[in-house]
Structure 1
């Protein structure tokens, strides 16, 4: 009797535990997605109390700037009208350090900040040294010649004489360090003296001189604390909501984020839009495919074919014109009117005539396309590689002797790739908190529900098994009744059971 009572108590306890597990599992199935969403919303906004704030303030991802130069092989022949030949040199790799300062939270749910950058050469990752010599077009001379193309002949002759006096030529031989971070040029001093504010350079001239140890402008972005729908979007850059470099309102708009984080809960229909001060415009990337980075699910976004398309191919880009062949963007209006063009490296995804006009170019998607891998739940980049090329339009200008007989051509100067991938402790923390724990909760809720159902089934089975034999034992068997009945009425009962008429004689 005691064992049966104990078994009933155990079965009841297991049933109660099963009920609790099942109820908890159902509650988790209903509530966990909402809880995870609320935690993500809380921790991706720009707020000192959020988990991602320090990541936003001091980007822990190591960024590298890889620079490739197009060394001009035949400068003398180009001056005689022959086809340019170039040889790619590099990469020359720099570790890029970023940090935000002057962080100011505003009353309209925005935060303003300056982001400073500095670069440190990495010899072990580079193919060459900063002391390497590169032959490339003299941007100052050829740009000045192009600006004076429609000017009076007398002024062109004076320019030719001035260039000769200063020893300026159409092509120059400079070290990587000089091209990157600047070199003294007497032409700069003369231009700044007689034509102030023409160039942003006050001392040395270099392609990256204005980027090292400087900020990229005052960004004001939405924090998402009060209005989550605008999280990370740029409100203003340097106090303006649109630039004035281009010829249409659409092209002048400052759209998207500052290029570091995006809104969470992305879908394949989402796009990545960001404002680039270096390109003087907003850019939009489109979804390509799903992937996995170090165990973390990602969405890969790439540049659309229309990013640098000209106005005839993609009418919305008409505002960036005057345009030339499709696949290159004229950035002269935001680069001191120098005939500079932005594109993918080696003119990838551009009109083939551009690459055919210069020997030594070999565009291919594996090496020259850009991408960003984003964790879709949080909108945080996991792995990125942004690649762009800077080219110069050169040609012979009548009256400027230094330009010789140069045939019109878009000549690549260099291309660079900014890359970064989350790693180390930051990657492990991100994986644990934003991938592993939600995954455990996701599977745990179904495990609890299944366990609860199993435990609830145990008392039911016990009840059925405990009641079955008891009921059978409580009813006498017909086969054993004659032996068990010993009263005088047994014959009567037997006759009744057999269906025969009873004998009235006692």
Structure 2
């Protein structure tokens, strides 16, 4: 029996040591496995699986919500009153993005164009595309400012042309026309009279160049040679930098194309990307740790200095000529059209912009942008990128249609591009990069725990057996003494009961 007990202890001890050893190895091995798994899935490699498919053809719901500012006192504004605005919308569009003309190069980069298409989503919208809205007529107000330095005689001719084509400072058109464009005979007239001076050709609309179009040819790193460079832009339209701005720093093309970033992010590392629509590189900064549907994330937001002027933030001097902080002049990359970018409702902008119009109510909850990124993979889980388009409006001498409009940066519309990881893509992502590592993480400690329990039992078991033997020996000794005593007592009783009878 003793040999059997010893054999059990040895077996348990050996098994416990093996489990602890396997668990300890996993403690060091799981991070390596995880890193290899991440690198395999985030490279731009047709054989890498779901991440490549997600990058090439965004399969998750993505929407653009557009809010238009209607000028409700446009007649009074022509007489010099402060603009009074009412927000209309949102008008929501399902956005599809698909990369085409993929060309892999020997230097570890890939070139592509990304085709964007938009489809109206009435079930998510607060209004119809057929809604009529009164907005600034950029053909009149914008062109007037762009041509304000011409001679008075030419401006009179232009003003006469406005009258001949019934063009006024404000238009009452449908949402569909305002966003996606409409034919305007006066635009053809201007392009004939002043060829190359205006940025508008064919249909005029604020997003007329968005639908069924692309934002240029991006060439980005695949990460096959260096995973830390994956998604980083090598060049855009063959350019290493643009020439819109007044400094080398402002003209730099930094970061990624804005959809994914290199993995293994740290809070100290900002998210940089190049935006062709804004004609510049932009930066988001870490705000806090968050979580999206069980996936740990870093939340990134726009820094207050993103649209600051050169006085408040010297590195932005290259984007000047500037106005007050919070609004960026983008006329340099829009054929000198007086257009400006800001956050919606002039959120985080100089108070003077908000005071110059009525009807705006900026709040962080509604008007700040954010991006929730899984830091391990560099893949966004949830985002809402928001921007506002504004234009300069003012009275221009010689062009009577501009009336007595006081100089103002006038909000025209703002939009939010929002999306999140969902459906089969989310399930695959979660199972491979979240659930599996979590199970391995738990497994290593479970194995160590069970192994230690086995080792403890193996060490204690011999003592338990020894104690049982001693107890059994004591029981046996006690039993012998009791039998002897019982025998003697029985004999005494027999002598008493059956002894020799008295005479």
Query: Normalising by structure 2, what TM-score?
Result: 0.92
Unaligned runs of 5+ in 2: 474-503
Matches within 5 A, 1:140-219: 140-219=139-218
- Cα displacement string for residues 44-103 of structure 1 (whole angstroms, at most 9, x for unaligned residues): 111112131111111122110000000010111111111110100000000001111101
Equivalent residue number for residue 69 of structure 2 = 70
1:122 to 1:469, Cα distance in 2 relative to 1, 3 A:
closer
1:33 aligns with 2:43: no
Q: CA deviation at 1:464?
A: 2.9
Query: Which range moved further: 120-129 or 36-45?
Result: 36-45
Q: What CA distance in whole angstroms lies between the structure 1 residues aligned with 2:458 and 2:145?
A: 92
Q: What CA distance in whole angstroms lies between the structure 1 residues aligned with 2:57 and 2:468?
A: 74
Q: What CA distance in whole angstroms lies between the structure 1 residues aligned with 2:209 and 2:288?
A: 36
Equivalent residue number for residue 54 of structure 1 = 53
- Cα displacement string for residues 404-462 of structure 1 (whole angstroms, at most 9, x for unaligned residues): 10100011000000000111222122111111111111111011111111101222112
Q: What CA distance in whole angstroms lies between the structure 2 residues aligned with 1:394 and 1:435?
A: 52
1:207 to 1:115, Cα distance in 2 relative to 1, 3 A:
same
Equivalent residue number for residue 441 of structure 1 = 440
1:16 aligns with 2:14: yes
Equivalent residue number for residue 345 of structure 1 = 344
Q: What CA distance in whole angstroms lies between the structure 2 residues aligned with 1:293 and 1:472?
A: 61
Q: What CA distance in whole angstroms lies between the structure 2 residues aligned with 1:196 and 1:406?
A: 28
**Preserved CA contact (<8 Å) 2:82 2:357:** yes
Q: CA deviation at 1:200?
A: 4.9
- Cα displacement string for residues 250-277 of structure 1 (whole angstroms, at most 9, x for unaligned residues): 0110000000101111122121110111
Secondary structure at the counterpart of residue 259 of structure 1: coil
Equivalent residue number for residue 99 of structure 2 = 100
Equivalent residue number for residue 487 of structure 1 = none
Equivalent residue number for residue 382 of structure 1 = 381
Count matched residues: 476
- Cα displacement string for residues 24-63 of structure 1 (whole angstroms, at most 9, x for unaligned residues): 0110011111111121112111111213111111112211
Matches within 5 A, 1:116-127: 116-127=115-126
Q: What CA distance in whole angstroms lies between the structure 1 residues aligned with 2:44 and 2:376?
A: 16
Kindly report the root-mean-square deviation, in angstroms, between the aligned alpha carbons of the 2 structures: 1.9
Q: What CA distance in whole angstroms lies between the structure 2 residues aligned with 1:92 and 1:352?
A: 28
Q: What CA distance in whole angstroms lies between the structure 2 residues aligned with 1:20 and 1:112?
A: 51
**Preserved CA contact (<8 Å) 2:67 2:413:** yes
Q: What CA distance in whole angstroms lies between the structure 2 residues aligned with 1:101 and 1:199?
A: 30
1:426 aligns with 2:438: no
Q: What CA distance in whole angstroms lies between the structure 2 residues aligned with 1:228 and 1:375?
A: 16
Matches within 5 A, 1:66-465: 66-465=65-464
**Preserved CA contact (<8 Å) 2:143 2:198:** no
